[in-house]
Structure 1
Amino acid sequence: MSEPNKTTTSPRAHRGQIIIHEASPTPGLPAKRRTFLGYLALMGPAFVVGAWQFGPGNLTTAVQAGSRFDYSLVWVIAVSTILMIFFTDMSVRLGIATPTSLITSIKDHLGKWVGVLAGFGVFGITLMFSVGNAVGSGLGLSLIFGGSPVLWTVVCTAAVGFVLAFRNVYGIVEKALLVIVVLMGLAFIASTVVAQPDWYRSMAGMVPSLPPGSEILIVALVGTNFSINAAFYTSYGIKEHRRTRADYRDITLVDTIPGIVAPGIMTALVIMVAAAVLGKTGAEAGTINALASVFTPLAGPVGAMVFALGLSGAAFSSMIANATAGGTMLSDALGRGAKAGSPTARILTGIILAFGLIITLSFQASPVGLIVIAQSLTVLIAPLLGILIVIMANKTSVMGDLRNRWWHNLLGAIGLITIIASSLRLITTLIG
């Protein structure tokens, strides 16, 4: 009997090139041989998702969490990351198994109005995220180059709009975001080295707790880190690359898990840095000036510059992914094409960019508060998207052997309960 998943080195491989021979993760399919570069080529869709969720709203809520509640909310990031991996994995499998795009499949199997509602729901969420992206992009670049944050917001919005003119929109977006994620990771690791957080207390923060007054911030953290709308979009990236069942296991190892874990780690680092820096000064990041000076007490202008680089990268990458995804999925819901480069998707993407710019120009008094509120409101739409992903991932007629197993549904149920509970908490907070 042959050993499953056996790894060998092919004698036909070129020097220094390792060929992996492994059993197919799906019965009946031939074994997949992949070089190291072949594995790298699988990276992309989940990193686009990670770049989308790790935007300025994520950074802002993380800074507030660390400055106001020390290390006690690190656990929210850990739980959100685990749930995000499972929902992204469902979307990956849907992208592989469904013969059409996800929203089109929803319309075919659950009813046209359900798919249209999902498309408009995602579009609504991307409108909310566009506000934080616009604010953060202008703030970050103003810290680096000086000048008005509003002026830089206009420049960034125009730059992202320029990307829409290219033919292969998704391919350009994916490659750019992979590079930006790596640079952001280096920036926030450097920030952590400078800040020297208390690692023991940060580990204690992994134990769930609810500090008084933290409820709305926890909802915002969940809304930005457990981003079901971003997970929803993963299936579109999988379709763009025409991934197959034979690719599934490798996609999980080199794209899904690292693509989602990376922003989770960066968010946790931001909380720890904010706790270390702002916790010592007793300050809170409630205004642009306070947010801009996160690292100044420890590292002076250099620390502020490092933070600005990270903020700029987070804002710009999220702005690109957010607008592209929202435009693509609403275009799909309207039956006008499921590709980022379709004419309708380009127009809708431009609308998202314009919305973020207009709101930013209209509400300049408290942009940080605006970011937190905008990210919190996304939780109201997320339950619908999460339910649709779970339902579709359980349809045998659609998924075949890639249908959800019991552990997928268990984590899916926990994720849905988390999102619904967050939504209810947000509603009661707003009413109260």
Structure 2
Amino acid sequence: MSTDRTSRTRPPATPGTGHGRISTETVRTIVESNHTRRTFWKQLALIGPAFVAGAWQFGPGNLTTAMNAGSLYGYALIWVIIVSTILMIFLTDMSVRLGIRTPISLISSIKETLGGWVGVVAGFGVFLITLCFSVGNAVGSGVGLSMLVPGTSPVMWTIICTLAVGTILFLKGIYGIVEKILIAIVALMAFCFIASAFASNPDWAAAGSGLIPVVPEGSWLLIIGLVGTNFSINAAFYTSYGTKARKRTAEEYRDITVVDTVPGIIAPGIMTALVIIVAAAVLHDTGTDAPAGFAGLTAIFEPIAGPVGTWIFALGFFGAAFSSMIPNCIAGGTMLSDALGRGASADTITARLGSGFILLFGIAITLIFSGTSPVELIVLAQALTVLFAPVLAALIIVMANNRKLMGDLRNKWWQNLLGLVGLIAVLALGIRLVISLVGA
């Protein structure tokens, strides 16, 4: 009788030592084996927010500034891409952790922690940056299609592309199909850049020397434009929203870093460096100055594609521009809606109106400056994005250090160090841009 009573009251088996328990080493083996079983396929499912940010970076502004850097200064500015990519990884990582920890959204947490007006400033800051990016996207989409259909007006194609994006925003069912097609187009261009990087027979020793920081005379505006597109703090800021939307957890953070954050940001950095290398090998050695249009830039694909290179370049450039138009206006509208307290969703009326305004702004600037060089217009628009970037970078760093919000995901000292380096860099470039514009 007592034996039965003992068996009925005996506690259930749990890991540890004593009755019915297993050793700690056995438990560790079980846990690690379970983690191993999920690493491949389930880690692939974690890919998303950082790759979206990276794809957003690799738009027409990025391509234009990189190709201009190679054609004007050879390999000298490759170091800008390396440094900005490293800094972008750390800011994006902070944003991912914020997306995991914030209860509603990053701007909502900023309002609660630092004050409502600070959250409003942050939301409007991202909105203003997306306005600058909209110019490059609008110009790039029009120029790309006008090269595909010679003799047609780039402005006409810009208007058509803008109307198409507006339609996609309201007819969400077709967005997934369009996105996949455009990703395939951009992937084709990426492959061509990699192949051209070897087929154009660049001076790899000179390219290696480009890792040493130097500032050629007259290159400051282009450097600021390169940083504005590669150290895209607004894209890093918005990554927290993608992370929150996918309901990522602290337990998934390490895997997210390995399969999404690091490769998602490194990939466009490598592609941009290759763009500079190809442009330097094909255009710089021939004495080609900054092209007034895009016709000269199409020569970068001639080493592997001949006359078809122009068509490949135009198709890829259009794909990069058009695919960037969509996330750019969605992010800007969402940030505006969240800043005004209307909800952190692209489906709110405020977000839709904000997205529409971003598209219209791109058309307006394209029409106003239709007689100027599209290359110069895109470079200037990308450079202007650094004016508000320091505010966003500072907010990301401050919020990532909030002990109450972040818990064990709070910034470590070395993360703060690199974050501060990035903050100082964009602040200095912003001051330099203002001085340059005032002097001009």
Q: Normalized against structure 1, the TM-score is what?
A: 0.89
The offset of 1:149, in angstroms, is 1.7
- In 2, are the aligned partners of 1:74 and 1:271 still within 8 Å (CA)? yes
Give the one of 388, 399, 404 matched to 1:392.
399
Map 1:130-209; keep pairs closer than 5 Å.
Answer: 130-146=134-150, 147-167=152-172, 182-209=187-214
5+ residue gaps, structure 1: 11-19, 23-32
The offset of 1:91, in angstroms, is 0.2
Specify the alignment match of 1:427 in structure 2: 434
Specify the alignment match of 1:16 in structure 2: none
Map 1:39-58; keep pairs closer than 5 Å.
Answer: 39-58=43-62
- Inter-partner Cα distance in structure 1 for 2:175 and 2:338: 15
| Matching of residue 358 in structure 1 with residue 364 in structure 2 | yes
- Inter-partner Cα distance in structure 1 for 2:404 and 2:260: 26
- In 2, are the aligned partners of 1:78 and 1:264 still within 8 Å (CA)? yes
The offset of 1:76, in angstroms, is 0.3
| Matching of residue 81 in structure 1 with residue 95 in structure 2 | no
CA-to-aligned-CA distance 1:233-271 (integer Å, 9 cap, x gap): 000101111111111111111111111111101111110
Specify the alignment match of 1:29 in structure 2: none
Q: CA RMSD in A?
A: 2.4
Specify the alignment match of 2:18 in structure 1: none
Specify the alignment match of 2:425 in structure 1: 418
- In 2, are the aligned partners of 1:143 and 1:305 still within 8 Å (CA)? yes
The offset of 1:372, in angstroms, is 1.0
- 2:346 aligns to what SS in structure 1? coil
CA-to-aligned-CA distance 1:25-45 (integer Å, 9 cap, x gap): xxxxxxxx6263322221111
| Matching of residue 334 in structure 1 with residue 340 in structure 2 | yes
| Matching of residue 278 in structure 1 with residue 283 in structure 2 | yes
Specify the alignment match of 1:65 in structure 2: 69
- Inter-partner Cα distance in structure 1 for 2:186 and 2:408: 33
Specify the alignment match of 2:116 in structure 1: 112
The offset of 1:134, in angstroms, is 0.5
Map 1:227-246; keep pairs closer than 5 Å.
Answer: 227-246=232-251
Give the one of 375, 386, 400 matched to 2:382.
375
- 2:202 aligns to what SS in structure 1? coil
Call closer, same or farther: CA 1:96–1:184 in 2, change over 3 Å.
Answer: farther
Map 1:219-368; keep pairs closer than 5 Å.
Answer: 219-295=224-300, 298=303, 299-365=305-371, 366-368=373-375
Counterpart code for 1:419: V
| Matching of residue 218 in structure 1 with residue 223 in structure 2 | yes
The offset of 1:7, in angstroms, is 9.7
Call closer, same or farther: CA 1:179–1:345 in 2, change over 3 Å.
Answer: farther
Stretch of structure 1 that moved more, 234-243 or 199-208? 199-208
- In 1, are the aligned partners of 2:182 and 2:319 still within 8 Å (CA)? no
- Inter-partner Cα distance in structure 1 for 2:186 and 2:298: 23
Amino-acid identity (%):
63
- In 1, are the aligned partners of 2:111 and 2:117 still within 8 Å (CA)? yes
- In 1, are the aligned partners of 2:81 and 2:226 still within 8 Å (CA)? yes
Specify the alignment match of 1:17 in structure 2: none
- Inter-partner Cα distance in structure 1 for 2:136 and 2:389: 18
- 1:209 aligns to what SS in structure 2? coil
- In 1, are the aligned partners of 2:100 and 2:240 still within 8 Å (CA)? yes
- Inter-partner Cα distance in structure 2 for 1:169 and 1:411: 41
The offset of 1:202, in angstroms, is 0.9
- Inter-partner Cα distance in structure 1 for 2:185 and 2:69: 24
- 2:35 aligns to what SS in structure 1? strand
The offset of 1:192, in angstroms, is 2.3
CA-to-aligned-CA distance 1:341-384 (integer Å, 9 cap, x gap): 22221221111011101111221122211111111111110000
Call closer, same or farther: CA 1:5–1:315 in 2, change over 3 Å.
Answer: farther
Call closer, same or farther: CA 1:180–1:43 in 2, change over 3 Å.
Answer: farther
* Runs of 4+ that moved beyond 3 A: 1-10, 166-184, 289-294, 296-300
- Inter-partner Cα distance in structure 1 for 2:28 and 2:182: 32
- In 2, are the aligned partners of 1:173 and 1:321 still within 8 Å (CA)? no
- In 1, are the aligned partners of 2:91 and 2:233 still within 8 Å (CA)? yes
Counterpart code for 2:420: A
- Inter-partner Cα distance in structure 1 for 2:198 and 2:29: 40
Map 1:399-414; keep pairs closer than 5 Å.
Answer: 399-414=406-421
- 2:124 aligns to what SS in structure 1? helix
Call closer, same or farther: CA 1:239–1:211 in 2, change over 3 Å.
Answer: same
- Inter-partner Cα distance in structure 2 for 1:4 and 1:228: 42
| Matching of residue 36 in structure 1 with residue 40 in structure 2 | yes
- Inter-partner Cα distance in structure 1 for 2:97 and 2:332: 21
- In 2, are the aligned partners of 1:169 and 1:340 still within 8 Å (CA)? no
Call closer, same or farther: CA 1:176–1:9 in 2, change over 3 Å.
Answer: farther
Specify the alignment match of 2:126 in structure 1: 122
- Inter-partner Cα distance in structure 1 for 2:72 and 2:54: 25
- Inter-partner Cα distance in structure 1 for 2:438 and 2:390: 19
- Inter-partner Cα distance in structure 2 for 1:54 and 1:91: 19
Larger radius of gyration: 2
5+ residue gaps, structure 2: 1-23
- In 2, are the aligned partners of 1:51 and 1:263 still within 8 Å (CA)? yes
CA-to-aligned-CA distance 1:366-422 (integer Å, 9 cap, x gap): 221111111111111000000000000000111011000011101001000110110
Residues matched between the structures, number:
413
